[in-house]
Structure 1
Amino acid sequence: MITDARFSWLFLAVWRRNLRVYRRIWVINFLPPMLEPLFYLLAFGLGFSGLISEVVWHGRAMSYTDFFAPSMLAATVMWQAFLETSYSSFVRMFYQKTYDSLLATPLTVDEIIVAEIVWGATRAVIAAAAMLAVVAALGYAPSWQALAVLPIAFLGGLTFGAMGMAFTSVTSSIDMFNIPVFLVITPMFLFSGTFFPLTGLPAWAAGLASTLPLYHLAELTRSACLGLLGPASLGSAAVLAAFAAVFIPLSLVGMRRRLVK
């Protein structure tokens, strides 16, 4: 029986293993984050900009694309991290038996799972960097504070990576991931202040949306791109850290239960 709860820097060996696999197919992994913002900006940003004269966000009037483009950075972080620790981690665990091989080494369950979550956050940073380059080139990230998107993406990646791993720990088949994707992730994508300010929602819905992690991640990426990071931004960062602090232990407990025999 595996009962060792030790945790050490050995988790970096698993992180490096995932990085090596990623580098072998980096073109396939790198292109979508580059092309995705262009598709969204063309479909929603440029398309709606002719219909919406301006958007008011926290008392500031701006064009729709100035409001919308930075929020796509947050959405990309969410999707990249969550999908990496849900579908991809499940494939490594259930189909490829990678976790079984790793557990035959001195690695512990905690080290493997933390490495998976950190790798999900790393994937989010890589995607955010690629997308930021596109958004900045189009003029929607004019402030030097936009560089803060990278550490923000890592924090958001830890949050959504931990959420994905928590679902992986209780999911019996890969098809079951449709439930959290369509009932949790997609609603967050649509109603967390990404496509429109929360002031466009009823008061009860706006209050609920303001508690979601993607809302706070979008607040941070938008503030960074527009050069508006300040003391108030610490509150959103604290919310993301709180979600990570809850879901990382849940992931560890759930995966120990699933993997320890």
Structure 2
Amino acid sequence: MPPAPWRLPALSPRFLPVWRRNFLVWRKLALPSILGNLADPVIYLFGLGFGIGMLVPEVGGVSYITFLAAGMVCYSTMNAATFEVLYSSFSRMHVQRTWDAILNAPVALDDVVFAELVWAASKALLSGAAILLVVTLFGFVEPRYVLWVLPLIFLVGLVFGALGLVVTALAPSYDFFMYYFTLFITPMMLVSGVFFPAEQLPEALRAVTGLLPLSHAVQIGRPLLLGQIPQDAGLHLGALAAYGAVAFWLALALMRRRLLK
């Protein structure tokens, strides 16, 4: 009888070979992958930063492109983790049946799913670190606390990786992912303080957007990149950790129900 799908995760170090397998496959296309993840946020950064920046000289006491740079780091991280667990993980799970082959070895499904999550966060760390390097080299951030942003990037990758795995567990095909982007990722990107201060939103909407995971990430990342200590950092980090833990547990339960029938 298969294990109850809603039991707590049972993880072991056996996830590491699965993570390594994903890394070795990705390494063959590492440069195009990094450049692809870097292109979108850099286009937004320079296109909107200089374009709107000519019309809006300052936002929150800094130039608009400086304001936008911090948001782009969080946005790039979210995108990299989300695309990995949606399209790549779905391919390995459903299309290529890679997971089926791995599960013939002494590796549990819990370890396979956890490896996918950690791998997505690892790719998100590379993507976020790349855009972080760009904005630092161009002088758009205060370098005092830049290195503190790297652990945040990894955590954000875990959070959005876990959320994306929930969608992957439910998806019948690639087309299903468009609902997730259209109904969740894109609206959240627009109202979470990436492109403009969330304080400008109507009060009712601001209360809702303040609960979104990307908002918590921006609330920590932007002050750090402006050389400031974030307010309520523990609260924001706790919220992100809670999102990640609950989403991973839910994703794993759905994966068990889907694959261990």
* Post-superposition offset of 1:42: 2.0
Q: Is the 8 A contact 1:216 1:236 kept in 2?
A: yes
The offset of 1:180, in angstroms, is 0.8
**C-alpha distance in 1, partners of 2:22/2:168?**
18
Cα separation, 2, equivalents of 1:164 and 1:253: 14
The match for 2:190 is: 190
For residue 227 of structure 1, what is the aligned residue in structure 2? 227
Distance 2:94 2:240 in 1: 29
Q: Give the aligned partner of residue 79 of structure 1.
A: 79
Question: Percent identical across equivalent pairs?
Answer: 39
Determine if contact 1:82/1:161 at 8 Å carries over to the other structure. yes
Q: 3-state DSSP class of the match of 1:155?
A: helix
Partner Cα separation in structure 1 for residue 91 and residue 37 of structure 2? 22
The structure-2 alpha-carbon separation of the partners of 1:7 and 1:42, relative to structure 1 and needing over 3 Å to count, comes to closer
Distance in structure 2 (CA, Å) of the matches to 1:35 and 1:138: 16
User: 1:45-124 maps to which residues of 2 (within 5 A)?
Assistant: 45-56=49-60, 61-124=61-124
Select which of 10, 13, 26 maps to 1:9: 13
| 1:34 and 1:134 in contact (8 A); partners too | no
CA distance in 1, matches of 2:175, 2:221: 32
Q: In the alignment, is the contact (CA less than 8 A) between 2:103 and 2:109 conserved in 1?
A: yes
How is 1:122-141 mapped onto 2 (pairs within 5 angstroms)? 122-141=122-141
Decide whether aligned partners of structure 1 residues 183 and 12 sit closer, same or farther in structure 2, where only a CA change above 3 A counts.
same
Q: Deviations over 1:20-76 (max 9, x none)?
A: 0111100111112333343112210011111012112xxxx2211111111000001
Contact map agreement 1:143 1:227 (CA 8 A) in 2: yes
Q: Does 1:23 align with 2:27?
A: yes
Q: Which residue of 1 aligns with 2:170?
A: 170
**Mapped partners of 1:181, 1:230: distance in 2:** 29
Map 1:132-171 onto structure 2 (within 5 A).
Answer: 132-171=132-171
C-alpha distance in 1 between matches for 2:139 and 2:10: 48
SS in structure 1 of the partner of residue 170 of structure 2 = coil
Relative to the length of structure 1, the TM-score reads: 0.94
Cα deviation for residue 250 of structure 1 reads 0.2
Deviation, 1:219, is 1.7
Mark the runs of 5 or more structure 1 residues left unpaired by the alignment: none
> In the TM superposition, what is the alpha-carbon distance from 1:2 to its structure 2 partner?
5.0
Counterpart code for 2:123: R
Which secondary structure does the structure 1 equivalent of 2:241 belong to? helix
SS in 1 for 2:211: coil
CA deviations 1:140-195 (Å, max 9, x no partner) are 12223111121101111110000000111111111111111110011111111100
Amino acid at match of 1:43: G
Give the secondary-structure state (helix, strand or coil) at the position aligned to 1:169: helix
TM-score, normalised by the number of residues in structure 2: 0.94
Alpha-carbon shift at residue 230 of structure 1 (Å): 4.1
1:37/1:135 contact within 8 Å kept: no
Per-residue CA deviation, residues 181-218 of structure 1 (Å, 9 max, x unaligned), is 11001111111110000122111111111110001111
1:44 pairs, out of 42, 48, 54, with 48
Mapped partners of 1:135, 1:72: distance in 2: 9
Which residue type is aligned with residue 50 of structure 1? M
